[in-house]
Structure 1
């Protein structure tokens, strides 16, 4: 699996989600919650836009380079909107989205041919509690640390490098939050699941790249569990020798 495969699975999941009424309803529910949180956070963050830009770069007096200052202002606005979407996504995860993600994943499994693997015979509430606890080491802490590094990078000589790498790292962990859903539901140890992430970093980067597109990232994040489940279903079929489902 390479970077292009990750992008393709994300698009396949979005397409299947839009064509399936139950998945569409759940995806729109996630979209509504994330969108409302994003709008609220964007309003707060962008209200401080001028102060943040002034800390990074005072408006130059020269008319020859003031255009670069305006360009930096627009780029900063887009970056802040992206950060707002990521923070809103994390808040929605904590509040209720893990339950919706798991339901979307189960529906996807039934639509395209059954479960990836035999689930442990444990109560559903035990599985859900395990999934919710996994949000901390799997997503919330890594992404928040990445955002912190991005902010700190604005005030250091390595700022451009850190600001570029930070969103890519966040995209990988946001992708993993979705692709890790099926293994976590089957109660696989965190250590094994993290090794699986390390072995497939290009795929996860490709899967997470659409999450960096302002506005559209809200849609991709809403239906990401579908594409992540398709990825696990196809991978299991390759392991067992069954013919994979047709793409798109």
Structure 2
């Protein structure tokens, strides 16, 4: 359904509005915001200070060389180097987003559970410890990162599809917090949400936008939980 894409986009606005009108959630969302900001700051600092060192470790061509070696050096220093910079930045950016989600997993689970409880939804199965939640999120992060990273090494088509896959998998990651409270099988959750690709794409694409996603990430768990309640025909009281 074509309305699924804008509905996914609009879920972020709903999440922010919900937090602004429910101040208890606003305070909870401030914690992942600070965590995300800290991780992104660290990531940008590492990229700015260590990227040249990492590339030099890969290859340090002689810019004064002649012949074929000189041509290869010129191509590397003026073209390949900047492509590698871009790929490294994208990889680092995506990695830090996933890392932020792993560290914030216990809080996201708490927020989703609190919002679901307002709609009368109870968790199926026992509550997980903080460390178990982070371990489960780490396992899920491997899955979320794998497909986009594989696609990125495939020229042209794979590199075009990688952001689409990353957006949909990030959306799945957030929607999985409320969903897993009612359905314990990961495969079934993945299969169910995969039937809504436009909804996932609409929700996930804004989370890939640099700087914009820093503001969206803390509220994404609210937006995704509200979206899940819509999907199951319920609403918070």
TM-score range, shorter chain: 0.7 to 0.9
| Partner Cα separation in structure 1 for residue 182 and residue 229 of structure 2 | 14
Structure 1 residue aligned with 2:115: 108
Structure 2 residue aligned with 1:97: 104
Structure 1 residue aligned with 2:163: 167
Indicate conservation of the 8 Å contact 1:146/1:170, yes or no.
Answer: yes
Structure 2 residue aligned with 1:66: none
Unaligned runs of 5+ in 1: 61-68, 239-243
Per-residue deviation, 1:7: 0.6
Per-residue deviation, 1:41: 1.5
Check if 1:225 corresponds to 2:233.
Answer: no
Return closer, same or farther for 1:121/1:213 CA change in 2, 3 Å cut-off: closer
Unaligned runs of 5+ in 2: 59-72
Q: Which of the numbers 100, 123, 132 marks the counterpart of 1:119?
A: 123
Indicate conservation of the 8 Å contact 1:105/1:229, yes or no.
Answer: yes
* TM-score calculated relative to the size of structure 1: 0.72
Q: Which has the larger radius of gyration?
A: 2
Per-residue deviation, 1:142: 2.9
Q: Which of the numbers 84, 94, 102 marks the counterpart of 1:86?
A: 94
Q: Which of the numbers 222, 231, 236 marks the counterpart of 1:235?
A: 231
* TM-score calculated relative to the size of structure 2: 0.75
Across the aligned residues of Structure 1 and Structure 2, the Cα RMSD in angstroms comes to 3.3
Indicate conservation of the 8 Å contact 2:7/2:199, yes or no.
Answer: yes
Q: Secondary structure at the match of 1:119?
A: coil
Per-residue deviation, 1:213: 0.9
Q: Which of the numbers 16, 30, 33 marks the counterpart of 1:31?
A: 33
